[in-house]
Amino acid sequence: MSKPKLITEDGIRTDGRRFDELRPIKMEVGVLDKSDGSAYVEFGKTRVFAAVFGPREVHPRHLSLPDRAILNCRYHMTSFSVEERKPLGMTRREVELSKVIREALETVVFLEEFPRTCIDIYIEVVQADGGTRTTGLTAASLALADAGIPMADLIAAVAVGKVDGQLVLDLNDIEDKYGEADMPIAMAPRFDSIVLLQLNGRISKDEFPRALALAKKGIMEIYKLQREALKRKYSATPQGGM
Amino acid sequence: MPVYFSDHEVVLPGQLLSDNGKRSGEGTYVADGKVYASQVGLATIRNNRVCVIAFKGAYRPQVGDEVIGVISDVKPNGFDVVLGKHLTGVIRIPDRRKVQNLGLRVGDVISARVKESSLRGIILEHTRRMRRFDKGLLISIHPAKIPRLIGRRGSMINMIKRRTGCRIVVGRNGLIVISGPSPAQEFAAVTAIKEVEREAHTQGLTERVGKLIDSILKGGVR
């Protein structure tokens, strides 16, 4: 298939957005009964569940650390999440993303509160349309907060990229495939610190700060939605006396 | 002293609570001399410290807590005690004969006080206030709900004890031992405690739970 036109002369993208617009976002916290904390996040057609279990015992026991908890993270795409059936099991890509997501989350979770235990995070992509790692990370941080695990801040993530020579926010699948660059960024917004940054493709030295600023703008919007989603779950309940 | 929340406001991880880093209490942390929330919960001030009463979260043992556990191993110099999903406490006794004198076996349920909770593990006291339960029901609820089950100065738990006529021992780690004169009364106590766990956030709970117990004991419900 030849490269489709991704941005019209009026600056409208394939799904009708402007360059600095996010897809329609939906977030819900506490969606799974059996987990200690869970979240569902939707960025347009990308749909992701995250579940957190723990702190719990480490198996096998010798992997446990005497001074802090270990964080296990599994990012996985369901076989029906993409156009062509994805075989079951972890691909190299999924193993790598599990690792970078785990490292991003480790920066905010206070692991030293639970020595000799592990915290398991399962991220399941049920429908993929670009930006699954950022959506997964956004969902995972909500699930961690929902599980009551102490953390310094929530993590919000979004991708920026270069499409038809223009910087755009929150790439979808077509833009990712046919665009010139894709740069997922995750931040702990409270401290303005970047916890994940990857870059696939090329952007120039001048474009980079502009891309970063664009991502930050998107991240602040996502952060706000995350906070609203958490508050929605817990504020609905009236306060009882202690 | 300025704080950035109203009492019992719902706060989220990373939310700024106070400028004075010395006032950091439970459920909070200090960064750059300021206090931030680390958990989802209700912000409040206790003993002049900013605290977050978490809605959810694992039990973290504090020195002096009364906990209930199950003996999982008997060793020459003490016992291992399972305190819940992820926690194992130890009782250390230097004298071998004393270990045998205590007569504890694997599977016994005990209550004990936390002597130390650190990198060395959770160490339980065995000299004072340790007891074994010979009979009763062992149930578990979410540790975050224990303060509500006890209530203000024990109002809730005392009411349940009084109305059901059961003896109830509550462990901070979420395990509870109930023993009563009849299965019906024990059942009423279990139902009441489960109700408290489920409805912990609602108002007028003590009264409703009282009514629930009465209706069960009259044989009316389920």
Tell if the CB–CB gap between A148 and B42 is shorter than 8 Å. Answer: no
Strand pairing report for B28-31 and B34-37: antiparallel
What is this structure's pTM? 0.89
The amino acid at A96? E
Tell if the CB–CB gap between B85 and A57 is shorter than 8 Å. Answer: yes
Kindly indicate the confidence band of residue A1, based on its pLDDT and cuts at 50, 70 and 90. Answer: low
What residues of chain B score a pLDDT lower than 50? 221-222
pLDDT tens column, A35-81: 999 999 999 999 999 999 989 989 998 999 999 999 999 999 999 99
Looking at this predicted complex, what is its ipTM?
0.90
Range A123-152 average pLDDT: 97
> Could you give phi then psi for residue B205, rounded to 5 degrees?
-75, -40
The count of other CB atoms within 10 Å of the CB of residue B197 is: 18
Residue B91, SS3 per DSSP: strand
> Could you give phi then psi for residue A85, rounded to 5 degrees?
-50, 125
Q: Which residues pair with B111 in a beta bridge?
A: B68, B131
Range A96-110 average pLDDT: 98
- In this prediction, residue B1 carries a pLDDT of 62
Tell if the CB–CB gap between B56 and A237 is shorter than 8 Å. Answer: no
User: Which distant-in-sequence residues (6+ apart) come within 8 Å of A116 by Cβ?
Assistant: A58, A64, A65, A66, A69, B121
Tell if the CB–CB gap between B119 and A149 is shorter than 8 Å. Answer: no
For residue A239, pLDDT beyond 50: no
Instruction: Sort residue A182 into left (φ over 0), alpha (ψ -120 to 50) or beta.
Output: beta
User: How far off is chain A from B207, nearest CA to CA, in Å?
Assistant: 13
Q: Which residues pair with B36 in a beta bridge?
A: B16, B29
For residue A242, pLDDT beyond 70: no
Residue B173 is classified by DSSP as T
| B20 exposure class (CB count in 10 Å sphere: 0-12, 13-18, 19+) | middle
**Which residue among A67, A147, A152 sits closest to B29, beta carbon to beta carbon?**
A152
**Which residue among B13, B56, B58 sits closest to A153, beta carbon to beta carbon?**
B13
Average pLDDT, chain A: 94
Tell if the CB–CB gap between A230 and B40 is shorter than 8 Å. Answer: yes
Alpha carbons A199 and A187: distance in angstroms, whole number: 15
Interface test mutation site (partner B, options A153, A191, A192, max chain B beta carbons within 10 A): A153
> Following CA atoms A96, A101, A106, A110 in sequence, which dihedral angle do they give, to the nearest 10 degrees?
-140
pLDDT tens column, B179-212: 999 999 999 999 999 999 988 877 889 999 999 9
What are the start-end ranges of the H helices in chain A?
92-106, 132-146, 173-178, 207-235
> Following CA atoms A203, A207, A213, A216 in sequence, which dihedral angle do they give, to the nearest 10 degrees?
0
Tell if the CB–CB gap between A154 and B40 is shorter than 8 Å. Answer: no
**Which residue among A113, A154, A241 sits closest to B13, beta carbon to beta carbon?**
A154
And the tokens for B196?
């408290």
Tell if the CB–CB gap between B8 and A149 is shorter than 8 Å. Answer: no
The amino acid at A157? A
Q: Which residue of B has its CA nearest to A64?
A: B86
Alpha carbons A72 and A100: distance in angstroms, whole number: 11
A235: which chain B residues are within 8 Å (Cβ-Cβ)? 10
- In this prediction, residue A241 carries a pLDDT of 38
Residue with structure tokens 């347009």? A44
Rounded CA Rg of chain B: 20
Chain A residue set in contact with B, beta carbons under 8 Å: 36-37, 54-57, 66-67, 108, 110, 113-117, 145-154, 188-191, 227, 230-231, 234-235, 237-242
- In this prediction, residue B220 carries a pLDDT of 53
Alpha carbons B145 and B161: distance in angstroms, whole number: 17
- In this prediction, residue A237 carries a pLDDT of 53
pLDDT tens column, A192-221: 999 999 999 999 999 999 999 999 999 999
Alpha carbons B127 and A224: distance in angstroms, whole number: 52
Per-residue DSSP letters for A137-179? HHHHHHHHHHTT--BS---EEEEEEEETTEEEES--HHHHHHS
